[in-house]
Amino acid sequence: MIIRRNFEEQLSELQEDLIRLGRFVQEAHGKAMDALVRQDLALAKQVIVDDDFADDITFGIMARTTQLLALQQPMARDLRFVAASLKIVTDLERIGDHASDIGKVTRSLAGQSYAKPPVDLPQLSSMACKMVGDALHSFVQHDIKLAVQVARDDDAVDDLCEEIQREMMDVMRSDSSRVEQATRLLLAARALERVADHATNIAEQVYYVETGELRPLAREEHNHALFASLGLEESDWKTHQRRSTDNGQNSP
């Protein structure tokens, strides 16, 4: 006899909903980027409208999670799972909002031709979405290593984002008529960078559920030992080392 089957079911229903919401916002990002590249206004509008649905689902999941806390009194791992779910659902909702933001960028650029066909932005979107997918995957598979990997992938996203920013600033400097366009595309890049940050947040929640430890995985300098224990190569994150010394965040 499985004890508390009802509770187990509710937990897995909650997890399913989170995964579905995650897939939904990922698809929204796919559509948003597709709409941006092909300047498909109808698709962009659909992404913006769909975000309301994601928001509704988010509220639904939050209410359900609160009920789960009140009715089932989860403990230990279950409690961490439910608490993390509350955080994860918020992150997913914000990721969805960013898809909507990109849709709005597409809408504002209607009828303008791009200075050059966007290549880096779709790549950035793809990277960020892969992080979201990996984070959720690690959530389902209880995969700490994958969660940590997600947090480290954030560096590549940050680097690419920075590259896009430099490129856009070059565009602005060379062609003043494209300042508006470049600014809006900067916002899109910025949104995708935020998506990657939310994916990192999710990964940190996964780490918390699995280990009981709230640990800022994004702060590499605190995590050398962890990375080593998981068998992750140092070379993967040395670019980040450089960046973090720049912004002076590494004081103990």
Does 130 bind another protein (CB under 8 A)? Our answer is yes
Residue 111: helix, strand or coil by DSSP?
coil
By CB under 8 A, what part of segment 172-231 binds another protein? none
By CB under 8 A, what part of segment 72-101 binds another protein? 72-73
Least Å from the CB of residue 237 to another protein: 21
Least Å from the CB of residue 36 to another protein: 12
Q: Return the structure tokens found at 139.
A: 């959530």
Applying CB under 8 A, among 78, 86, 99, 134 the residue interacting with another protein is 134
Residue 69: helix, strand or coil by DSSP?
helix
Listed in sequence order, the residues at least 6 apart from 4 whose beta carbon sits closer than 8 Å to its beta carbon are 72
Q: Return the structure tokens found at 194.
A: 């935020």
Does 42 bind another protein (CB under 8 A)? Our answer is yes
Does 40 bind another protein (CB under 8 A)? Our answer is yes
Contact by Cβ (8 Å): 102, 33: yes
Does 27 bind another protein (CB under 8 A)? Our answer is yes
Burial label for 82, CB within 10 Å (0-12, 13-18, 19+), is buried
Pick between residue 18 and residue 109 the one whose CB is nearest to another protein.
18
Does 46 bind another protein (CB under 8 A)? Our answer is yes
Least Å from the CB of residue 12 to another protein: 5
Query: Which region, judged by CB under 8 A, interacts with another protein, from 7-15, 153-161, 170-178, 224-232?
Result: 7-15
Applying CB under 8 A, among 53, 166, 234, 238 the residue interacting with another protein is 53
DSSP annotation string for 115-175 = SS---HHHHHHHHHHHHHHHHHHHHHHT-HHHHHHHHHHHHHHHHHHHHHHHHHHHHHHH-
Burial label for 174, CB within 10 Å (0-12, 13-18, 19+), is exposed
Contact by Cβ (8 Å): 93, 55: yes
The residues that touch another protein, with contacts defined as CB under 8 A, are 1-7, 12-17, 19-24, 26-27, 29-31, 34, 38, 40, 42-43, 46, 49-50, 53, 57, 60-61, 63-64, 66-67, 70-73, 126, 129-130, 132-134, 136-137, 140-141
